[in-house]
Amino acid sequence: MALTVYTDKDVDMGVLKERRVAILGYGNQGHAHALNLRDSGVDVIIGARDQMSPSGARAKQAGFEVLSYAEATMAADVVMMTLPDEHIPSVYKDHVAPHLKRGAALGFAHGLAVHFGHITPSDDVDLFLIGPKGAGRWLRAEYEAGRGLACLVAVENDATGHAKSIALAYASGLGCGRAGMVETSFREECETDLFGEQAVLCGGIPDLIEAGYDTLVEAGYSLKWPISNVCMKPS
């Protein structure tokens, strides 16, 4: 199946710059989203558990307006959930769903909560996903270097007719349009991401390293060489 890949030239940043964006969470992904979008000219606020939490304090120190999850949701036109997957259902139920504007856009950095039915957003909001292909620190570093990370972009619900334009503008504001924004679905992003993490990174690769080490040791090689050849990357 052919991939549909968008770049900055396909994007109208005006659709995002005329909206206020709330980033819920200021951790691994959240801090990079917030900083990159602000540097791209987008109006960004932060939603935190409370202003005295470690992440809230870091966001405040970075110069962002920090509100509660509920207050940030009420004040925003676009709400991006960058919280850990296990926290999203309760935060959505208690703080986001009761306060999300009709016609607002609700975004996710990973599709798990929606794809597996942990939350069911209402039909009157746009629902989109932006999945950068790398950790937040890399997303930020690449942006600052004038480059960008590729990302996955998906739209699950288009209540306003602008969901895709908002999603692409959001991804472009992160710097992802410099590398490529690949169109996908919540299901595809979620299942392939979980497979890559659990079956390959946390499963296959560690087992391969262990098997390679055991093979060399059992063949009589000095312990230091299996460790060097199997476990260490060049500096």
Same-domain check for residues 211 and 114: no
pLDDT average, residue stretch 120-131: 95
Number of domains in the chain: 2
Per DSSP bridges, beta strands 151-157 and 126-132 are: antiparallel
Instruction: Kindly state whether residues 23 and 129 are assigned to the same domain.
Output: yes
Pick 114 or 211 by higher pLDDT: 114
Residue 209 has pLDDT above 80, yes or no: no
Residues 95 and 209 in one domain: no
Shared-domain flag, residues 133 and 196: no
**2-11, 52-61, 189-198: least confidently modelled range:** 189-198
Q: Are residues 112 and 144 in the same domain?
A: yes
* pLDDT at position 217: 73
> Which is more confidently placed, 27 or 221?
27
Average pLDDT, the chain: 88
Residue 68: strand, helix, or coil: strand
What pTM did the predictor assign?
A: 0.83
pLDDT > 60? residue 194: no
Let me know whether 126 and 225 are in one domain: no
Say yes or no: 141 and 201 in one domain.
Answer: no
Tokens for 210? 């262990």
Where residue 49 sits, what CATH number does that domain have? Answer: 3.40.50.720
* DSSP-based three-state secondary structure for 213: helix
Percent of the chain clearing pLDDT 90 (strictly above):
68
On whether both 222 and 149 belong to a single domain, the answer is no
- Of 19, 61, 67, the residue nearest 40 (C-alpha): 19
Same domain, 207 and 129: no
Residue that the structure tokens 């296990």 belong to: 86
17 with 130, same domain: the answer is yes
The pLDDT value recorded for residue 200 is 47
State the DSSP code for 39: H
**Same domain assignment for residues 135 and 90:** yes
State yes or no: pLDDT of 202 exceeds 80.
no
Give residues with Cβ within 8 angstroms of 154, minimum separation 6.
111, 128, 129, 131, 167, 183, 184, 185, 186, 188, 189
**Length of the chain (residues):** 235
* Interatomic CA distance for residues 108 and 220, integer angstroms: 50
| H or E element, residue 108 | strand 105-108
Q: Is the pLDDT of residue 32 over 90?
A: yes
Quote the pLDDT of residue 223. Answer: 59
Whether the Cβ atoms of residue 230 and residue 205 lie closer than 8 Å to each other: no
pLDDT at residue number 48: 95
Locate 141 and state its tokens. 């570093």
Q: Which residue has the higher pLDDT, 195 or 164?
A: 164
- The yes-or-no verdict on residue 127 having pLDDT over 70 is yes
Q: What is the reported pLDDT for 87?
A: 94
Q: Which of 153, 168, 184 is the last residue of a domain?
A: 184
The residue with tokens 């962002």 is 64
Per-residue model confidence (pLDDT) at position 208: 65
Query: Do 164 and 197 reside in the same domain of the chain?
Result: no
Task: Using DSSP bridges, classify how beta strands 126-132 and 105-108 pair: parallel, antiparallel or unpaired.
Answer: parallel
Model confidence over 49-84: pLDDT tens digits?
A: 887 789 999 999 999 999 999 999 999 999 999 999
Is residue 44 predicted with pLDDT exceeding 60?
A: yes
Q: Which of 184, 200, 216 is the last residue of a domain?
A: 184
Type of residue found at 204? G
Residue 11 has pLDDT above 70, yes or no: yes
Q: Whole-angstrom Cα distance, residue 82 to residue 25?
A: 5
pLDDT in tens, 71-122: 999 999 999 999 998 999 999 999 999 999 999 999 999 877 787 778 999 9
**pLDDT tens by residue, 159-186:** 999 999 999 999 999 999 999 999 997 7
Q: Determine which one of 110, 115, 118, 162 is catalytic.
A: 110
Residue 134 contacts residue 109 (beta carbons within 8 Å): no
Active site includes 110? yes
Could you list the residue range(s) of the whole structural domain that residue 199 is in?
190-231
Determine the Cα–Cα distance for residues 150 and 131; give it in Å rounded to an integer: 9
